[in-house]
Amino acid sequence: MLFDRDMLNRLYRYAYALSGNEPGAGDLLQDTVERCLQRPPGALACPEAYARRVMRNRYIDITRRRKASPETGDAHTDAELLAIDTHCLESLTISRDMLQQAWSRLDVFEREILYYWAVEDMTAAQIASTLGSRRGTVLARIHRLRARLRAEFGDDAAAEGVKR
């Protein structure tokens, strides 16, 4: 079997990170599994990684990059970007309920960043590489995401300071 139950759950979580909601994640997962099954048996060295790529491309196709183009980032100077990395997310505190509220309001790129950072423990450079994006773009989005969470949840999402 191409995907065991653990893999299916991991892929479902990634689908959830992309779509932002469980019904959308279910559809995306179903579509992805069906597409992967089109490949001949044994043709995929790493089915899960392949499935993630298929899933992401599929999601982009579906949404036609309407709002959340990963390449549209804020312009930041190198000096600003040096002060940003995933570690600046470490200091944020937020309750699970608040996160649940915020989740669907994040854009797909932000959810992907959070997914790879939290679940896969990736750095900004690794996330950028995985998403086929520039590191600067990822850093800029992390910076904006942090500011947004802090603004939205005030002191609740505030921090004890940015750990460098």
Partner 1 sequence: MKPNLKQSLIEHLESVRLDDARLDELEALQRTRSARSWWHSRTLQLFAAACLLVALVVSWLPFEQPDLLHAIAEEAVMNHLAQTPLEVHGTTIAELDGHFDQLGFRLVEPLAPAEGARLLGGRYCSLQGVTAAQLRRHDAQGRTQNLYQVPYRPASMGELPDPALGEQPRTLEMRGLRVDLWVERGLLFALTRD
Alpha-carbon gap, residue 66 to 89, rounded angstroms:
27
Binding site for partner 1 (CB under 8 A): 1-3, 5, 8-9, 12-13, 16-17, 22, 25-26, 29-30, 33-34, 37-41, 89-96, 98-100, 103, 114-115, 117-119, 149, 156-157
Element (H, E) at 149: helix 135-153
Instruction: Identify the DSSP state of 119.
Output: T
| DSSP string covering 38-53 | TSPTT--SSHHHHHHH
**CB 135 → partner 1: shortest distance, Å?**
20
**CB 32 → partner 1: shortest distance, Å?**
10
Q: Which is nearer to partner 1, 79 or 154 (CB)?
A: 154
Q: Which is nearer to partner 1, 60 or 98 (CB)?
A: 98
Amino acid, single-letter form, for residue 30:
Q
**CB 75 → partner 1: shortest distance, Å?**
25
In terms of C-beta density within 10 A (0-12 exposed, 13-18 middle, 19 or more buried), how is residue 134 classed?
Answer: middle
Contact between 41 and 82 (Cβ < 8 Å): no
**CB 111 → partner 1: shortest distance, Å?**
10
